[in-house]
């Protein structure tokens, strides 16, 4: 959100075929290490569970799809 800076964190909405359990945190750590900055990850289920309407709307309206179907890990 806003203008990204070189030090900005990276916000990701991920689509998962299966629940990862604790491997979800491993994925976040791996992405932070590879990208060299903080990574916040939200799943589709997490997005559905957001109860503050304006936050949910902002996220939904600003999604940029990158590499659909790509598998990083």
| Burial readout 20-58 (b: 16 or more C-beta within 10 A, e: otherwise) | eeeeeeebbeebbeeeeeebebebeeeeeeeeeeeeeee
Give phi and psi for 56, each to the nearest 5.
-60, -45
Name the pTM for this structure.
0.67
Residue 72: predicted pLDDT: 55
Read off the pLDDT of each residue in 14-38 and give the average, rounded to a whole number.
85
Read off the pLDDT of each residue in 42-53 and give the average, rounded to a whole number.
91
Checking if the pLDDT of 15 tops 60, the result is yes
Residue 4: predicted pLDDT: 76
Q: Lowest mean pLDDT: which of 30-34, 43-47, 62-66?
A: 62-66
pLDDT band at 49 (very low <50, low <70, confident <90, very high): very high
Between the CA of residue 71 and those of 2, 13, 16, 17, 34, what are the distances in Å? Answer: 27, 14, 10, 11, 15
């Amino acid at each position: 959100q806003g203008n990204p800076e070189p030090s900005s964190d990276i916000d990701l909405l991920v689509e998962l075929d299966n629940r990862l359990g604790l491997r979800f945190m491993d994925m976040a750590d791996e992405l932070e290490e590879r990208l060299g900055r903080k990574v916040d990850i939200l799943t589709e289920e997490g997005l559905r569970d957001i109860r503050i309407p304006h936050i949910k709307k902002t996220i939904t309206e600003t999604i940029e799809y990158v590499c659909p179907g790509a598998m990083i890990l």
